[in-house]
């Protein structure tokens, strides 16, 4: 689906492995395919101003027994946005990668989603589809080991879904 009025989506991720960078590019590709404007930044490059200016957020972290310390620091550095309501109503989604299928991928997604919910954001996930038998999670896009074609397709779908939701929310 192509959105009529372009919105801006910020993709922020912590690059600790190649798979997370592949997923970040794929979610950004899904955003662009929907007609939205995407800004792709690592946690070392993204600022609070970037976050506040965006109509939506895609947040990514490799699974290191949950989110990485670098991403946790970036989230903490955003200050009291959760308290002042600056992000309330903005859509957000999460993606992650890890070394093992049962190594805590969903917990990592849920840690990012927890921060989004604390900020009053609207969480966008992936609905059930046949592709999910092999890749992804309801909570967001995932990759185990190297990102597969299915993983990248799920990531593109998540980026596209977020852009569409952002357009609906900003045009109401």
Tokens for 95, please give them.
Answer: 């993606």
User: Within its chain, how far is the Cα of 60 from the centroid?
Assistant: 5
What is the per-residue pLDDT for 4?
Answer: 65
Distance, in Å, from the CA atom of 11 to the CA atom of 87, rounded to the nearest integer, reads 15
Local structure of 157: helix, strand or coil: helix
Q: How confident is the model at residue 100 (pLDDT cuts 50, 70, 90)?
A: confident
Dihedral of the CA atoms 155, 140, 87, 76 (nearest 10)? -100
Mean pLDDT on 95-108: 85
Mean pLDDT of the chain: 91
Quote the radius of gyration of the chain (alpha carbons, Å). 14
> What pTM value is reported for the model?
0.93
**Helix H or strand E encompassing 75:** helix 69-76
Mean pLDDT on 114-136: 87
> 8-170 domain in CATH 3.40.50.2020?
no
**Helix H or strand E encompassing 73:** helix 69-76
What is the per-residue pLDDT for 165?
Answer: 96
Are 27 and 37 in contact, with CB atoms under 8 Å apart? no
> Looking at the predicted structure, is the pLDDT value of residue 28 above 90?
yes
Q: How confident is the model at residue 139 (pLDDT cuts 50, 70, 90)?
A: very high
Q: Give the model confidence (pLDDT) of 51-82 as tens digits.
A: 999 999 999 999 988 999 999 999 999 978 88
The domain segmentation of the chain, as residue ranges, is 8-170
> Looking at the predicted structure, is the pLDDT value of residue 171 above 80?
no
């Amino acid at each position: 689906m192509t959105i009529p009025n372009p919105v801006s989506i910020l993709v922020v991720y912590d690059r600790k492995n190649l798979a997370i960078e592949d997923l970040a590019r794929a979610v950004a590709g899904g955003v662009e395919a929907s007609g939205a404007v995407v800004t792709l930044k690592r946690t070392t490059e993204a600022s609070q101003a970037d976050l506040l200016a965006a109509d939506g957020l895609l947040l990514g972290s490799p699974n290191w027994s949950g989110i990485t310390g670098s991403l946790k620091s970036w989230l903490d550095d955003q200050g009291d946005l959760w308290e002042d309501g600056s992000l309330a109503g903005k859509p957000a989604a999460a993606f992650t990668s890890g070394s093992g299928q049962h190594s805590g991928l969903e917990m990592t997604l849920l840690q990012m989603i927890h921060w989004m919910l604390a900020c009053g954001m609207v969480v966008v996930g992936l609905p059930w589809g046949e592709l999910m038998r092999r890749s992804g999670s309801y909570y967001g896009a995932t990759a185990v080991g190297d990102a597969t074609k299915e993983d990248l397709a799920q990531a593109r779908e998540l980026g596209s879904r977020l852009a569409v939701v952002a357009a609906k929310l900003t045009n109401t």
